[in-house]
Amino acid sequence: MDFEIPDETRVLIDTVRRFVETEVQPLEDEVEELGHVPADKLNAVKAKAQALGLYAMNMPVDVGGGGLSTVETCLVEEQLGRTSDALIRRIFGQVYPMLTACEGAQRDDYLIPTVKGERICAMAITEPGAGSDAAAISTTAVPDGDDWVLHGRKHFISDGDIADYAIVMALTDREKRARGGITLFLVDKGTSGFSVGRVQHMMGQRGYGHAELVFEDCRVGSDKIMGELGEGFRLIMNTVSAVRLAHIGARSVGMASRVLELARNHANERHQFGQPIGQFQMVQQMLADMATDIFATRMMVLNTAWEIDQDREARDKVSIVKLFASEMIGRVADKGVQIFGGMGYAKEMPLERIYRDSRVLRIYDGTSEIHRMLIARSVLRNGFEP
């Protein structure tokens, strides 16, 4: 088993690391203070990222993406995790893999412009009554001649307030539901009957909106169906594993690694009772636990990514990674704050932001409780082989 990272991949990782540290991290305080980055600064850094080929790296080369494997994507996402999610979205692109299901004119209207960074996409799945249980959605799409009429309400939709269009998951057959009764629709901003409701203000993840999307007699043509009629839930599930693995698993490793570096430096530099606090066993225990947690998560992420690259079924492992990584970053962030003491609780330090940002990872894309249930069911049914 070879764990060596190829030289060209190492160069890419180092490039992304430097770019994040020199170009992106300096914008973090502005995001926290203003809730956004001034357009001129954002456009300048985004243009630099695109010029280096660092935009939409997870997408295939034939549509303008970076063509990275799952392992490579996770190695890159680990470096992206060293900054805020809002800046990752704006500068490196939040391009959803299921967009590769676009066909014909959809590729020119949605897929290609999104990969180029010309259009912003929102993924509209979550509803007031359907969170972790995505199949419980109540938004409907009813056929009317050659069109479909959407009714329903989505909430907590990332970028829903500024997106140029949304991928909307809707019921097209109430009886079949997840088994052939859910379809994805591409709905443009400005479509009659489609409006943005309130934007929720969150404890963390500042810098981008989490919006309510309302569909009232929203009429779209059959050409707006993405993928096959009734196959929306399958399409989402086939791509959500890679998203969970990269956006939660790998980014959590990056967030935690940054916390550990800050804590290590502080433990060496901060003196109390005549010596660096890193000499105290209680502080050493926290640093050791942080390093162990990070290493374990990184190995989980890369092993699971390799499984996916081998076209092997890895859904159970993805659930394990999602569960462990989201709880790991909570533990690491908490220890980081503790090592810094009062300064760790101050907004002057990035620890305070990371502490808030990390909390939601145990909630979205399936709560920790849901993933524990899924893992346990799989163990009871099939056992578990690493």
Based on the domain organization, do 144 and 12 belong to the same domain? no
CATH number at residue 164: 2.40.110.10
Based on the domain organization, do 275 and 219 belong to the same domain? no
User: Which residues, other chains included, contact 260 with Cβ-Cβ below 8 Å and sequence gap of 6+?
Assistant: 287, 290, 291, 294, 332, 336
Based on the domain organization, do 206 and 243 belong to the same domain? no
Cα separations in angstroms, 205 against 13, 111, 336, 352: 24, 26, 19, 12
Residue 2 banded pLDDT, cuts 50, 70, 90: confident
Q: pLDDT of 38-63, one tens digit each?
A: 899 999 999 999 999 999 999 999 99
DSSP state of 130: B
Which residues sit opposite 231 in a β-bridge? 182
CATH number at residue 280: 1.20.140.10
Q: pLDDT of 183-214, one tens digit each?
A: 999 999 999 999 999 999 999 999 999 999 99
Q: How far is CA 232 from the centre of its chain?
A: 20
Q: pLDDT of 80-115, one tens digit each?
A: 999 999 999 999 998 999 999 999 999 999 999 999
Based on the domain organization, do 336 and 210 belong to the same domain? no
Domain residue limits at 81: 7-95
The whole-model pTM stands at: 0.94
Long-range contacts: 18-21, Cβ < 8 Å, 24+? Answer: 19/48, 19/49, 19/52, 19/54, 20/79, 20/80, 20/82, 20/83, 21/82
Based on the domain organization, do 87 and 202 belong to the same domain? no
Q: What is the dihedral of CA 328, 332, 334, 337, to 10 degrees?
A: -160
Based on the domain organization, do 43 and 131 belong to the same domain? no
pLDDT of residue 241: 84
Q: Are strands 121-124 and 165-171 parallel, antiparallel or unpaired?
A: parallel
